[in-house]
Structures are given as C-alpha cells and as structure tokens.
Amino acid sequence: MIPAYLLLSIAFVGIVFFALSGHKAEIGKINVWFNSISLFATIWLAINVLNNGTILSADKAFLIDSFNVYLIVLTAFVGLTTSIFSNPYMAHEKELGKLTDKRLKLYYSMYQGFMLAMYLVLTTNNMGVMWVGMEAATLATVLLVSLYRTPESIEAAWKYFILCGVGIAQALFGTILLYYAAVQIGDGENALLWSELFQHASQLNPEVLQIAFVFMLIGYGTKIGLVPLHNWLPDAHSEGPTPMSAVLSGLLLNDALYAVVRNKMLVDGATHSDMAGHLMMGFGLLSFLVGALFLHRQKDIKRLFSYSSIEHMGLMTFAFGVGGALATFAALLHMTVHSLTKSAIFVTVGHATQVAGTQRMDKIRGLIKTQPKIGWGLLIGTISIAGFPPFGVFTSEFLVLLATMHSYPWLTLPLLLGIGIAFAGLFRHIQPMVYGEKPEGQQPVKANLLPVMLHLALVLWLGLAIPSFLANWFSQATFLISGSSPL
Amino acid sequence: MNIESQDLYTQIILSMAALVGLTSFLMLGQGRLLRLIFVFAIQGLLLTLTTAVAAYSLDNHHLYISAVLTLALKVIFIPWMLRNEVLKSNLHRDVEALGNQTAIMLGGASLMVFSYYVLHPIVQTTSPVMLNALAVSLSVVLLGMLLMISHKQAIAHVVGFMSIENGLFFAAIVATKGMPMVVELGIAFDVLVAAVLFGIFFFHIRSSIDSLDVDLMNKLNEVDK
C-alpha cells in the first residue's frame, strides 16, 4: 500500500510546491521530476499487485486490483511524457507573450492537482470519493482551459465548467441511489465501499440500481464525451493549452469510463440483465458515428482530434457494453492504445501549431518540408489512430469487430461504416497539411519529440505482439470485469 | 398515506420537502437577481434545518457537522458572494425578461411529475414517504437545470448550479441519513472550490465581454458563419 500513499502525497506536495514557489526557470523540469517519481511509485505498485493480487488497504479506503492498476500506470506514464513535452512548449508560449509567470505557476500547480484527482479516482475504494475526485478533476482543469484569457478560451472554460458540473451532479444522484440501496443491506459508513458492494451485489435492489445506473451513465458520460453530452469537449480541447488537451483526451476520458465500468459491474451483479450493457452500446455507437461524421467539417486541428477522441471513447463504451471476455479485453486494449496515440498526436499538433502560428488547418501546410520530425510524427500518429495495421489500434478495433460479429452480427455494419468515415475524415485534412510546399517564412521550432516516438513505438509494439505479462494482466482485468477469461 | 398518522420526524421531513420544492419554483419564475439569491439562501436554510432535525432525531453527530457546513456555505458564503457580484456589476435594478413565463412554470410542473414517474419503481421496496422525498430532490435537480436554461445571466446560472447541489444534498439527508463523512466533506470541499472558481470566472467574463450575459458568449460552435 505504501506506493499508493506515496503516489497521492507526491501529487499533493506538487500542488503546494508549485503554488508557493517563487518563479524559477526550471519550473517545468521540476514538474518532470515530480511525474517521474509518480511513475516510479506506480510501477512499484503494479509489481506488488501482479505478485500478490488485489490489495485492499487496512482501513479499506483504497483498493488496487488488476483493472485499475494498469490505468494508474498509464496515467502516470502519459502524465510524465506530457510533462516532458510541456516544458519547452510552455516556455515557448511564454516567449510569445501569451502567458505570465503567475499563470505558469498556476498551470504547473493545477497540472499536479489534476494528476492527484485522477489518482484519487483510480485508487479509491469508495464510490462517493470517486465522484469527489471526478469533480475535483473538472475544477483543477477549468482554469487551465481559460489559461490564455482570450474570449474564446473563457467561453470554452465556462461551458466546460457548467456542462460537466451539471452533468456530474447526475452521477452524484446515482451514487446517492446506490448508497440508498446499499444501506438496506449493510452498515452505514462502509456501505459505499466498492469491495463490499461488489461482494453483496446480488443482494442489492435491482430496481433502484437500474435507476441509479442511468444517472451514473449520464453523469460520468458527460465527462467521457458521449454524444449528445459532448459539446464541452471540442471547445475545451481546442482553446486550452495543448498539453492540457493531451492529458484530457488521454486520461480524463478514460478515467470517467473507468467509473462507469465499475458501476456497470455492480448493476450487472444486481440485475442479471443486459440493461446496463445495452444502454452503453447505444450511447457508444451514437458517439462513434457522430464523432466520425463531425471529423469531416472541422477547420481547427485540435477540434479535429477532439472529435476523434469522442469517436474512440464511443467505441470503447460500446465494447464494454457488448460485454463478454473478448469485447472487454478489446476495450481495455483500446483504452491503452488510444491514450498513448492520442496524447502523442496532441503533442505533435502542439508543435505543428507553433510552427504554423495558427490552429486553422487551411493555414498549416508543408510540415514535412519545414520540420520533418513533426510532419512524420503527425502522419504516423494519424495512421495509427485511424486503425491501420500494424499499430495497436488496429488490433483492438479488430477484436471489437470480432466480438460484435459474435454477439450482435448486424452491428458490425455501422461499426465498419464508422471506421471508414473516420478514416476519410482524418486523411482529407491531414494529407495537405503534411505534404506539399512550405509557405513563406515558416520556421522550425525547438521541439522535443521523444514522448511522441516513445508512445508510437509502444503502440506499434502492442500491435505486433502483446508481451505476455501484459496480456496476462489484461486478461486478469477482463476476468474481474466480465467474469470469464479471454485466453 | 395519511400524513397525520406518521410520526413527527416524518411529518417534518415531508413538510421540508414541500418547502424546498416550493423554493425551487419561486426561483424559476424570478427575474430579479437579488431576490433570486435571497430565495436560494432560504432554500439553503431549509436544508440546514432538515439536516439539524435529522441529526437530532437520529442522534447522529456527524450530521450536525453537515448542518454547520451547509449553513456556512449555502446560506452565508455563496449568497453573500453572489450578492456582491450583482452589486458590483450594477445588475440589481435589472429585471430579466424571461421568455414565456407560463411555459416555463408548466415545464417545471411537468418535470416534477416526471420525477415521480422515474422514481416510482422504488416504491415497491420502501415507504411512500421516501418516494416523496427522493422525487422532490430529483425535481429540485431538474428545476435547477430549467432555471439555467431559462435565465441568461451567469449569476442565475450559478444559482441554478448550486440549487442542483441542494437537491442532491436533500436526497442524501432524507433517503440515506447522510453520506459517509469522508464523502460529505469531499462534496463540501468541491462546492467551496466551485464557488470560488465561479467568482474568478465572473471577473474574467466581465473583462472579456463586458457583461455577464452568457448569451453573448457564442463564438464557439459548429455552425458555419
């Protein structure tokens, strides 16, 4: 349990440290150090869980099992690589005069605040605290969306704040209903503990849990970006600083989905029906198709990729909804490869916009000629996210298709259609941006593409061969969620 | 269900539920911001009283802490902050024209009926009293949303947001006798931070569009201009 406490306290120390520290030139580097220690703690935690199985802390406040431990490692990893990217990026933004020292301090302090909220959501055993962490993640990031203080960014942040705040309030109502069902069979203070709830899931009142799940799905679904609750997402992603878009897309959406899946496990145990799964499939498929169609009409490069996030989150929600060992395994894999690829793409997009000086796609041209590393990074990232073999996204999408064909054959048609539409939507925009002649006066910028290469290499590796310890890890998580093993 | 046959605690809870529901309707039709904030403070006070009554009758000490937190946050701090904001923006003389008043009130009434409809299945496992309490809480949540939709001022949106929070809090008190302490403290912390952030946002919005009318924030959308 020590590494989990270490993890939470590092992030907490980070918030206080950056908030109080005077201006330092190395503030970005210190942030990288904080995140490296976090990653170290999560790996320590993961080794513990792999060797000893599920860990429950003595006061039952924290629960680490094979499902959340891999998300914890993923969160720390993406948090670290994004901080490596954000160091030169934010320094460059400051040189351009978009930021002051004070706001830079706010940025780093809230970066750690966001990480703390994410770790809290993932490690806690208490469904109520999970809600608190999710809300705290909104609160930590809302001032970062409006960091540039432009009218657009303030509008985006306000929309984000109000929509996610109201949305997540529904999840709290769901949690209250869950608690209401739980106190009828258990004692008060422990009734919201997931470990207790899961053990007694079959005794929970199915009527109440069904109503509760609808509220949870709407509430956390707002944060996942499920259509039609997605309106805040493209705005917040496009107007905030790019490292924020990378962690929002790569981490926040995943963790909201994690909360939904945890609740689905309880509801499935109580109702013995597919009601929760069918709801998730419906919302997931709608988000997937709407996200894919909206890719076509985007003008802003960050909005383009935020719609791609909506599309992929929809696919994952759909896959978790289908249930069964294969679909769940595929969804877990897709969560991983999507996080890695999408955060890599946002990092390259951040550099590309600094090269071109704008986010408008019709103004970004000739990236390969200007700065080959960025151009190729963007192209390969897009190929990966569009689901080309041999990248990992192909593997997971293929597995989702396979599972769908098995359980709901007719639904493979809209899925295939959506994948095709999304592919066309991405490439009609990306192709002219990376190829072609460079415009007059376009200069390369100082860029650190190590995170991008690392992420894409990992995705490639996952596409070619999933290492056996990881496959084992995923199948343990799959067993936990779906009750059967894929391997 | 005959209300006179219930014990005193249940009678108080039911009356409080009715009053909390009523304050939500009062807010819905209110065009003046200062009165809106005043009614919101009254709703907070009703919540505090409900919590205190529950704490006393159930002999549950941690509910007293919740009552004090509610009093400090929802009755004093947030209304005070919003009132300052209204006076600073010189909005206290304005009466907001609220589209179609009748339609909004009828919509509010149908939301209440809808809440009863949604929560009706749980009546099989519990008393009708609980159904009343939960349905009123849900309708306070939905009425808060309707308030946000029908009003244009950012301050009214914050009142709606916080009254949604009130509805949830009411549900937690009457249906489950309060959430576990750690959760309740967490929620109170989140509400406090949210209130402070709203204050910061009013400042930013004012300096960006020189008004607090959120209808003027319309730069970001998917419609071609």
Q: Is B194 an 8 Å CB contact of chain A?
A: yes
Q: Quote the longest CA-to-CA distance of chain A.
A: 71
Nearest CB partner across the interface for A211, out of B118, B164, B222:
B118
**pTM as predicted:** 0.94
Separation between Cα atoms, residue B16 and residue B10, nearest integer Å: 10
What was the pLDDT predicted at B223?
Answer: 64
β-strands A63-64, A55-56 pairing: antiparallel
- CB-based contact B118 A128, cutoff 8 Å: no
> What average pLDDT does this structure show over B45-56?
92
Listed in order, strand segments (DSSP E) in A316-464 are none
CA distances (Å), B210 to each of A59, A352, B205, in order?
A: 51, 34, 7
The confidence band for B58, taking pLDDT boundaries of 50, 70 and 90, is confident
- CB-based contact B197 A173, cutoff 8 Å: no
HSE, CB side, 13 Å, CA atoms: give it for residue B139. Answer: 29
Question: B188: nearest CA in chain A?
Answer: A132
Question: B207: nearest CA in chain A?
Answer: A151
The confidence band for B113, taking pLDDT boundaries of 50, 70 and 90, is very high
Picking from A121, A138, A135, the residue whose alpha carbon sits closest to that of residue A4 is A121
Q: Note whether B81 and B195 are within 8 A (CB).
A: yes
Query: ipTM of this model?
Result: 0.93
Q: What is the nearest CA distance from B81 to chain A, expressed in angstroms?
A: 18
Q: Note whether A259 and A129 are within 8 A (CB).
A: no
Cis peptide before A390 (omega within 30 of 0): yes
What was the pLDDT predicted at A487?
Answer: 65
Separation between Cα atoms, residue A230 and residue B203, nearest integer Å: 26
Among the ranges given (A260-274, A360-374, B124-138), the one the predictor scored with the smallest mean pLDDT: B124-138
Q: What is the nearest CA distance from A414 to chain B, expressed in angstroms?
A: 24
Does A252 have pLDDT greater than 90?
Answer: yes
Nearest CB partner across the interface for B161, out of A157, A166, A189:
A166
Beta bridge partners of B153: B213
Tokens of A402: 């396979």
Following CA atoms A458, A344, A227, B218 in sequence, which dihedral angle do they give, to the nearest 10 degrees?
180
Q: Where are the domains of chain B?
A: 3-214
The confidence band for A23, taking pLDDT boundaries of 50, 70 and 90, is low
Q: Note whether A239 and A360 are within 8 A (CB).
A: no
pLDDT digits (tens, 9 = 90+) for A174-211: 999 999 888 888 766 788 899 889 988 888 888 889 99
Question: B140: nearest CA in chain A?
Answer: A173
Q: What is the nearest CA distance from A141 to chain B, expressed in angstroms?
A: 11
> What average pLDDT does this structure show over A378-403?
94
Separation between Cα atoms, residue B170 and residue B162, nearest integer Å: 12
- CB-based contact A132 B187, cutoff 8 Å: yes
pLDDT digits (tens, 9 = 90+) for A115-172: 999 999 999 999 999 999 999 999 999 989 989 888 889 999 999 999 999 999 999 9
The confidence band for B182, taking pLDDT boundaries of 50, 70 and 90, is confident
Mutate to test the interface with B, among A106, A139, A158 (most CBs of B within 10 A): A158
What was the pLDDT predicted at A119?
Answer: 95
The confidence band for B1, taking pLDDT boundaries of 50, 70 and 90, is low
Helix (H) or strand (E) holding A195: helix A194-199
The confidence band for A291, taking pLDDT boundaries of 50, 70 and 90, is very high
What was the pLDDT predicted at B121?
Answer: 83
Q: What is the nearest CA distance from B187 to chain A, expressed in angstroms?
A: 6
> What average pLDDT does this structure show over A271-292?
93
Other CB atoms within a 10 A radius of the CB of residue B7 amount to: 8
Q: Note whether A113 and A133 are within 8 A (CB).
A: no
What was the pLDDT predicted at B44?
Answer: 95
pLDDT digits (tens, 9 = 90+) for B70-98: 999 999 999 999 999 899 888 877 777 77
> What average pLDDT does this structure show over A290-298?
93
**DSSP-based three-state secondary structure for A56:** strand
What was the pLDDT predicted at A98?
Answer: 84
Does B225 have pLDDT greater than 60?
Answer: no
Contacts with A211 from chain B: Cβ below 8 Å: 118-119, 121-122
**DSSP-based three-state secondary structure for A193:** strand
